[in-house]
Every structure is written in structure tokens, then in C-alpha cells.
């Protein structure tokens, strides 16, 4: 509703460590999950430590969204 993308930085956050008992180096999957959920909800700019993995996850999300939009027209 702001009229511009949000910037989110969820990469390897301590909340994932607290929630799942993970060390920072083991928080890739929760970080990717949070980034993809955010990308599904709204237009976002994602700040991440794991650029290649996040880019791949977001490419999948964008492909799914594009296919869904095509099918649902």
C-alpha cells in the first residue's frame, strides 16, 4: 500500500537461530523461505548474504507467479 517496494533483510537472522536452534551458517533454508514468502506477498528488495541461492529461489517464485497469472487470466 506504500506505492513502492519494501526492503527486507532476513538473511541468517538470529530469530531463525532462536526458533530452530541453528547457528548462523546453518540458516540458509529459513532465510530463503522468508525471502520467498515476502516475494509472494508483495514487491520487495531483498538484502541477503547468500546472493546466488536467494536469486535462484526468487527466480522460481517469479516463474510460478507468472505461470499462475497466465493460467488465472
Give me the catalytic one of 12, 27, 41, 47.
Answer: 47
In the three-class reduction of DSSP (H, G, I as helix; E, B as strand; rest coil), residue 45 is classed as strand
* Strand ranges in the chain using DSSP code E only, listed in sequence order: 6-8, 44-46
- Reference 51, options 62, 43, 59; nearest CA is 59
Q: Is 27 a catalytic residue?
A: no
Q: Is 13 a catalytic residue?
A: yes
The residues assigned a catalytic role are: 13, 47
Amino acid at each position: 500500500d506504500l506505492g513502492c517496494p519494501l526492503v527486507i533483510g532476513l538473511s541468517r537472522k538470529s530469530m531463525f537461530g532462536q526458533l530452530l536452534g541453528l547457528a548462523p551458517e546453518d540458516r540458509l533454508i529459513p532465510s530463503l523461505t522468508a525471502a520467498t514468502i515476502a516475494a509472494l506477498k508483495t514487491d520487495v528488495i531483498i538484502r541477503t548474504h547468500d546472493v546466488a541461492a536467494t536469486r535462484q529461489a526468487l527466480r522460481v517464485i517469479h516463474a510460478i507467479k507468472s505461470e499462475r497469472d497466465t493460467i488465472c487470466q
